[in-house]
Each structure stands twice: as C-alpha cells, then as structure tokens.
Amino acid sequence: MSKDVFVFVESKEGVIRKVSLELLSKGKEIAGHLASRLHAVVIGYQINDIAESLKVYSDSVITVDNELLKEYSWDTYTAVFAELIKRYNPYMILGPSTVTGKDFFPRLAARFRSPMVSDAIGVDFDDNTVKIKKPLFGGKILSWVVCRSDSMIFVTFRPNSFSIEAGDLNGAIVEEHIEVTRDPRLNIVSVEKTISKKVDLQEADFIICGGRGVNGPENFQILEEIADLMNGRVGASRSVVDSKWRDYDDQIGKSGKTVSPKIYMGCGVSGALHHIMGMDTSKVIVAINKDPNAPIFQYADYGVVDDMFDLLPILKNELQMVKEEV
Amino acid sequence: MNILVFIKQVADTEARIIISSDNKTLEIENKYVINFFDEFAIEEAIRIKEKIKDSRITICTYGPARSIEGLRTAIAMGADRAFLIDSTNYESDDPLIVAEILAAFAKKEGFDCILCGRQAIDDENANIGAMAAEFLNIPHVNCITRLDVLENGKVRVESEIEGGKKVLDITLPVLLTTQKGLNEPRVPFITGVMKAMKTEIITIDPASLDVPKETLDKNASKTIIFSYEAPPQRLPVKIVEGVTSGEKAKALIKALRDDVKVI
C-alpha cells in the first residue's frame, strides 16, 4: 500500500462542488504530512473541462470518462472506484458527506473491508498518525478517531469543514479506461431535479432559516429575497416543515440536515434542541426573534430582539448596499 | 413478503452525556429510545403487511440487553417477532462490524426486503444500510420517501437525491433506508403493548452466526476512538443595540462586516 491520498471529486451540472475543492485543499496538506501524492478522482461523462481545472489542486487527476457514468448511481460508481483503488492502492480515500458520498462510500468500505469514518469535520496529526475529528450525539460531543496504519481508510467530511486554498500544483491528467456495466436489478423510472440552480443547503455559505414565527408560507418571500441576494439558501425549522410551509429538503435539525454555513440567520426560530443540533457548527449564528426569552439566543453570537417583518426589509436594503460597495 | 427491520436503541436527544476525566469514555444518562429514523422503517413494514397479508415482520438489533425495550416497542407497533443479537462481549461501535453481523443474521433468516433508518442519531454514521447491502450483495436505496410493492417481484421506490427525487424499480431482495416524509409512525395501542409484554424476544450470540472469526475479536475494529471532547463554547450572545428596526439592522450589519468579517 502506498501512502497516497484519493479525493473523490463531485460535480453538479459540470461545476465542481465546493466541498470537493475543500477536500483537495485538505488532501494536499495530508499528502504533505505523509510525504505522498494527492490524486483528484473524477468520474463522469465529458469531464475534460473539470479535469483541466483540477490540475492546480492535485499531483494527478485521474479520470474515468464514460457515458454510463453521466448520472450518479452506486452500482457503476462503486465498481469504477473500486477498480481505481486496486490500480493505485491509496492509503486515504476522502469524499464528501453529501447524499452521493453517503450513498457509495460505505459500500466501497465494505467491499474492501476497510474502516470508514463518516461525517467528519477535521483532521490532525500525531507524528505520522492521522486523527479524524467527528461529532457525535448531534454535536454534543466531539470525538477524535485514529485508524490502524496497516489499513486503507475511507473518510467522508461535511461540507464547509475546510477552507479552499489557492491551487499551486500542476498535476497531469491520467485517463483510466474501465469497463462500466449497470446492475440489471436497478431500473431508473424517472429523475426529477427541482432546485438545481441554487446552491445545496449543506454547501451554502449563507442560510436564512425561518421558524414558526414566519407565520405562513407566503411570508417566506422576504427570506427568499435575502437568500438570493447573499447567494445562499432558505432553511426551515421542523414545525415549519410539519405545517407544510416548506419542503422537507429545507429542514435543518436532528431530523433534517446538518449545516455549517459562514452565517446562519434564524428568523422566528425558537431554538429547540433538535434544531440547534443541525446548525450549531455554523461560524456565526444570528438570531432574530421578538421574544427576548427565546432559547435560540443562548446559542447565538448576535441577537436581534425585533419583529422580523419590520427588520428584514431594512436588513435586505443594508445588505444590498454592502454588496454594492464591494 | 418476508421483511426484516434493523433498529438501534440510541440515547435520547435530551439525555445528559458526560465525558470522563481522562477523556476516554462517555457516561450516558439512562434514557434510551428507538432511533428516530428507524421508526419509519418499522411503520413502513407494518404498512406493507397491512396491504400484503401474507407478510412477516422480523425486527433485529445488535446491541446490549437494554435494547430489548426497543424491540418490545416494535412488537407493540405491529411487528411479528424480534431478535436481540447480544453485543455485550463484542465490538459494537465500528459500523463495518455491526453491518457484517446484521448481514449474517439476514442471510440466516432469509428476507425479501430489509428496512432500516437512514442513520443513527448517536454516532450519525449513515453506514449500516449500504454496508449490509454490500455484504449481502443486494441493491440498496438510501433515504426513501415512497415505497410501492409491485407484482413482478420488484419494488418501486422514490428517494431523495441531491436537489431532487429519483424513482427506481428494483428487483427483490433489496435494502432500503428510511427517513422522515415516508410515513407517520404510529403510537402502539394498549393491546399491542400487552402482546409485546408476552412475546418472547429471542437473544442470540453473534458467534452463532456465519461471520469471520476476526470480526468477533475484541480488537476487531481498525478504528479507535482516541479521545472525546466537548464542543467549543460560543461567547455569550451580543444583543444588537438600537431603538428602531433601522438602527438594529445597521448595527447587525456593522458587527457582521467589521467584527467577525463574514460579509
């Protein structure tokens, strides 16, 4: 086994996902510690442009380009990735803790009977031992996991765990040819993508989250406007989703998604524990609530005690002005 | 339809968790519940049985003796039988090992469909489903939001994908992971609870299953939790000053731009 590092690069409509660049930045640091090479692994169809733009981020860009790999499916992706692992014998295989990463990384780990650490948020080194930081119990506890060095290891990381560093490498593109076959037991009936133009909730840098206090689905308009202005996304608390004001896709919390944006802004969110579990790794938490006793203020960096319907339109104009200054 | 449901007893969201002074172990308050996402798996199994009379629901958990409580709840909801694979003398944190033991149980019992929650809310791994499917060499679909049993030995499932939905027809046997939105888990009736009290929960030793000897070794896991720590504490909240909404909005923007520099 080499000490090389693989990063699975996920893209969406031809654009590399931010989380993949975060992992390549961290991967470079890990490969540096292990005195090994970093490989960006791109699987898909017509991926030349993606591969080209990855050269600066890795020592080599491994591509498998095949029409059958255009849409992600665990059967094809697991098989192709497994074959690449056999050819290159890497030590660490990094991927995103996204719907896709969560879907096929466990299958890969089981196929190789190799350990897997999921939903991690950090990496550290103890001499030559890699330590991985992973939250447990909805973020109430952080654990540091070490893996025995004689085994290959799979790790998935949450989006927004690492910053993206400017690329200064010059990796060569290596095209690998692997035969792709679909699993005949799976038949796709339909694929429906709803909000593909917007950034995914888990990758968003800015999230404005509406709670019970938004008082109805029609009132989310101002939150949408601010989210669009900030290139972010609107999130929702559980009660909002349960009332069918917003889709489940927007739900933040224990029973929904875990997010760590740069700015989380809760509007009319009371701050129940199961919601806090989904957002308390955000960099800056802003709470806007007219009730000064709302529990969310205990978890926030900044609190605004005000009626959101008075505050948000003004806030939107102010944010607009900041944007124009830049 | 022969349905297996994998469940896990997990610490309740509200349970107090204390890190030992050497940072090596956790002390968890004795408040355990069925994993939130597993409830949807149990409920879906019961709904299949309500439609297809000739069905049997078997619940299985790999865990310590206290997990029997969760198995009884599942019986009370409407499952037929329940097995506890007792983890007392074995490694139970490494998902690779848990999945291999559950897969061995499934192989022994036989099944058409396995249901389990998309992830456990304690370790938050989301691994067991896909790993067990891999060990069993069957297809899996994660995060299903709709399930229909078709007549030709297939199921039609709708699942969440990145920013959308996907509908698949899959040949049985299959493993499906469940989440919110699939159904509304029922609260057991008193008659169900009484039935559950009388039902024998069968305890089995993992060593009786067909798993490699190494898997059951005390040091089988290749991952070790080196230490635990509490998450960093935030500073106390700064309430933004101002009388009017305009003043507050300006003060908030100023703080975000000049103090923490995030805009």
Which CATH number fits the domain that encloses residue A41? 3.40.50.620
A156 plus A23 within the same structural domain: yes
Average pLDDT rounded to a whole number, residues A171-184: 97
A163 and chain B in contact, CB less than 8 A: no
Average pLDDT rounded to a whole number, residues B243-263: 95
* Residue A218 located in a structural domain: yes
Spatial contact of A7 and A40, defined as CB atoms under 8 Å apart:
yes
* Residue B222 located in a structural domain: no
Task: Return residues 237-266 of A near B (CB < 8 Å).
Answer: 248-249, 251, 254-256, 258, 262-263
Question: How confident is the model at residue A295, as a pLDDT?
Answer: 97
Q: Does B4 have pLDDT greater than 70?
A: yes
Q: Which H or E run contains B157?
A: strand B154-161
* Residue B228 located in a structural domain: no
Quote the DSSP letter at residue B173.
S
**CA–CA dist A305, A169 (Å, integer):** 49
Of B121, B124, B263, the CB nearest to A322: B263
Question: How confident is the model at residue A199, as a pLDDT?
Answer: 85
* Residue A283 located in a structural domain: yes
Spatial contact of A47 and A65, defined as CB atoms under 8 Å apart:
yes
Quote the DSSP letter at residue B139.
-
* Residue A180 located in a structural domain: no
Of A131, A188, A306, the CB nearest to B166: A188
Q: Does B163 have pLDDT greater than 90?
A: no
**Shortest CA distance from B156: residue in chain A:** A189
Question: How confident is the model at residue A320, as a pLDDT?
Answer: 95
User: Binning pLDDT at 50, 70 and 90, where does residue A225 land?
Assistant: very high
User: Binning pLDDT at 50, 70 and 90, where does residue A1 land?
Assistant: confident
Tell me the CA distances in angstroms from A143 to A115, B16, B68, B110, B183, one per residue in order: 16, 16, 28, 37, 33
Tell me the residue range of the domain where B128 lies: 2-216
Of B96, B160, B170, the CB nearest to A109: B96
Question: What number is the ipTM of this complex?
Answer: 0.94
Tell me the residue range of the domain where A150 lies: 5-175
Inter-chain residue contact B134 with A106, CB threshold 8 Å = yes
Sign of the CA dihedral A240, A241, A245, A249?
Answer: positive
Spatial contact of A64 and A33, defined as CB atoms under 8 Å apart:
no
Inter-chain residue contact B239 with A12, CB threshold 8 Å = no
Which CATH number fits the domain that encloses residue B139?
A: 3.40.50.620
How many structural domains are present in chain A? 2
A91 plus A159 within the same structural domain: yes
How do beta strands A302-305 and A284-289 pair? parallel
Taking only the tens place, the pLDDT of each residue in A60-81 is 999 999 999 999 999 999 999 9
**CA–CA dist B116, B36 (Å, integer):** 11
* Residue A9 located in a structural domain: yes
**CA–CA dist B77, B188 (Å, integer):** 5
Spatial contact of B115 and B70, defined as CB atoms under 8 Å apart:
no
**CA–CA dist A139, A137 (Å, integer):** 5
Which CATH number fits the domain that encloses residue A215?
A: 3.40.50.1220
User: Binning pLDDT at 50, 70 and 90, where does residue A196 land?
Assistant: low
Average pLDDT rounded to a whole number, residues A226-254: 95
Write out chain B residues lying below 8 Å of A118, CB-based.
95, 124-127
Taking only the tens place, the pLDDT of each residue in B100-138 is 999 999 999 999 999 999 999 999 999 999 999 999 999
B262 plus B169 within the same structural domain: no
A215 plus A97 within the same structural domain: no
A49 and chain B in contact, CB less than 8 A: no
Residue written as token pair 């991927």? A95
Question: How confident is the model at residue B205, as a pLDDT?
Answer: 97
Spatial contact of B240 and B252, defined as CB atoms under 8 Å apart:
yes
**CA–CA dist B136, B211 (Å, integer):** 12
Question: How confident is the model at residue A195, as a pLDDT?
Answer: 59
A47 and chain B in contact, CB less than 8 A: no
* Residue B224 located in a structural domain: no
Question: How confident is the model at residue A128, as a pLDDT?
Answer: 74
Residue written as token pair 């917007």? A198
Half-sphere exposure of A13 (CA within 13 A, CB side): 9
Find the distance separating the first CA and the last CA of chain B, reported in whole Å: 56
Nearest residue to B88 via CA among B61, B70, B114: B61
Taking only the tens place, the pLDDT of each residue in A122-136 is 999 887 788 999 999
Write out chain B residues lying below 8 Å of A249, CB-based.
160, 163
* Residue A74 located in a structural domain: yes
Of A141, A192, A292, the CB nearest to B165: A192
Max distance between CA atoms of chain A, in angstroms, equals 62
**CA–CA dist A160, A22 (Å, integer):** 7
Q: Phi, psi (5° rounding) for residue A20? A: -70, -40
Taking only the tens place, the pLDDT of each residue in B52-63 is 999 999 999 999
For residue A154, how many other CB atoms are within 10 A of its CB? 26
Residue written as token pair 């939150």? A223
Spatial contact of A154 and A114, defined as CB atoms under 8 Å apart:
yes
| Cα B83 → chain centroid | 16
Average pLDDT rounded to a whole number, residues B195-208: 96
Residue written as token pair 């509490």? B230
How many structural domains are present in chain B? 2
Question: How confident is the model at residue B17, as a pLDDT?
Answer: 96
Half-sphere exposure of A235 (CA within 13 A, CB side): 33
What does pLDDT average to over chain A? 95
Nearest residue to A121 via CA among A280, A245, A6: A280
Q: Residue A79 has which token pair?
A: 């098989």
User: Binning pLDDT at 50, 70 and 90, where does residue A198 land?
Assistant: confident
**CA–CA dist A234, A246 (Å, integer):** 10
